[in-house]
């Protein structure tokens, strides 16, 4: 009898053990199925990310061995197509060819998917009140619906940092030989241009030449009228707008280097556009081809303009204001040439081509720890 009870108890234990094994296997299967589902989801996410990366050329492949046995990691490309918050400000100096340049931007804005906005200041004033500086800085930074955007207008540089704004715009500009700019503006006020020939300008009917104006020491040709490019780069400080102020010149130089992505020269506008096309392709893709083919490479020609005599040039060049404005121009020109040599490919020097290639160059990261 005892043997029979032991036999039955043994079978019950075996049945319970087998049931436990089945339950354990069942839960293991459920866990594996959950893991498989999670893995499937992860793979789907990875594939989606890879697809986006392929589309935007964002990748970080290991491309070789570095010094000391480390690996070199290629720098990821910027996802230009996804830079929806990019803001560019072109605080254009009058009579520097700005109409020709900005019309290229207007023509490209639809195909390159950005907005262009003109900053229209009352009475064409170049300096904003403090309250308007604050409003402008916050409008530009917070107006997300209009981004990416290129703003342009005849205003002096505005320092966004002093208003506590973390997101700063990208500044660009063009600069021109100061005497050429003054002469162009002098005749523009009298004869207008071919861009809007129907407008009657402020000095319409005054046929005095620039040479005669200088000889008679008239106000319209006074060297102080050249004091414009320095304050445009200097900004909104009172000293910026004092003709011949040495601090203003030095501040303009500092801002040109530290605050501006690129400052070109009117006399080499094509290369300025080429530089922008390789640096900011999300805005300027196709700009060089359009600039060369759209007959907009020189808009707004002054209707009548006489080159000043050598005697007039000598008188102007003796002025402190011309010397300081010319110093800023030479400084900007040297910086522009420096960046052009290190940025543009060989096609930039070949005026028969409409393609712009970047100078071959790479930078990579290595010796990354911990692995």
Give how far the C-alpha of residue 140 lies from the chain's centroid of Cα atoms, to the nearest Å: 14
The pair of three-digit structure tokens given for residue 16, joined into one six-digit string: 């319970």
259, 266 contact by CB (below 8 A): no
Residue written as token pair 């254009």: 92
Neighbours of 145 (CB within 10 A): 7
Q: Which residues pair with 118 in a beta bridge?
A: 152
Whether a cis peptide bond, with omega within 30° of 0, leads into 370 is: yes
Q: What are phi and psi of 165, to 5 degrees?
A: -95, 125
339, 275 contact by CB (below 8 A): yes
The half-sphere exposure of 198 on its side-chain side, counting CA atoms within 13 A, is 0
Give how far the C-alpha of residue 297 lies from the chain's centroid of Cα atoms, to the nearest Å: 21
Which of the residues are catalytic? 152, 154
Stretch (H or E) spanning 184:
helix 178-191
Q: In what order do the strands lie in the sheet with 71-74?
A: 62-65, 71-74, 364-365
- Rounded (5°) CA angle 105-110-113: 95
Q: Which residues pair with 249 in a beta bridge?
A: none
């Amino acid at each position: 009898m005892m043997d029979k009870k032991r036999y039955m108890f043994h079978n019950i234990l075996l049945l319970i053990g087998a049931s436990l094994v089945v339950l354990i296997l069942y839960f293991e299967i459920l866990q594996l199925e959950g893991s498989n589902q999670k893995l499937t989801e992860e793979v789907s996410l990875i594939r989606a990310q890879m697809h986006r990366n392929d589309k935007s050329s964002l990748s970080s492949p290991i491309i070789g061995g570095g010094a000391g046995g480390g690996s070199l990691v290629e720098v990821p490309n910027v996802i230009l197509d996804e830079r929806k918050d990019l803001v560019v400000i072109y605080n254009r100096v009058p009579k520097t060819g700005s109409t020709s340049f900005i019309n290229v931007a207007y023509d490209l804005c639809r195909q390159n998917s950005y907005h262009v906005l003109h900053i229209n200041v009352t009475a064409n004033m170049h300096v904003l009140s403090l309250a308007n500086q604050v409003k402008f800085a916050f409008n530009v930074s917070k107006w997300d619906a209009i981004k990416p955007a290129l703003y342009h207008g005849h205003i002096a540089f505005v320092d966004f940092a002093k208003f506590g704004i973390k997101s700063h715009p990208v500044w660009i500009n063009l600069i021109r030989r100061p005497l050429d700019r003054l002469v162009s503006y002098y005749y523009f006020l009298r004869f207008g241009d071919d861009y809007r020939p129907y407008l009657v300008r402020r000095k319409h009917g005054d046929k005095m030449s620039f040479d005669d104006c200088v000889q008679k020491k008239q106000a319209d040709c006074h060297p102080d009228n050249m004091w414009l490019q320095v304050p445009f780069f200097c900004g909104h400080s009172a000293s910026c707008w004092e003709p011949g102020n040495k601090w203003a010149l030095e501040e303009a130089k500092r801002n040109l280097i530290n605050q501006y992505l690129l400052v070109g020269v009117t006399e080499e506008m094509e290369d300025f556009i080429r530089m922008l096309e390789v640096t900011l392709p999300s805005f300027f893709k196709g700009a060089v081809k359009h600039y060369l083919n759209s007959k907009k490479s020189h808009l707004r020609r002054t209707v009548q303009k006489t080159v000043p005599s050598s005697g007039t040039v000598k008188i102007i060049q003796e002025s402190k204001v011309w010397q300081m404005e010319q110093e800023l121009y030479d400084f900007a020109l040297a910086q522009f040439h420096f960046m052009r040599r290190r940025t543009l490919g060989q096609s930039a020097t070949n005026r028969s081509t409409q393609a712009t290639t970047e100078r071959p160059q790479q930078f990579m990261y290595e010796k990354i720890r911990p692995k």
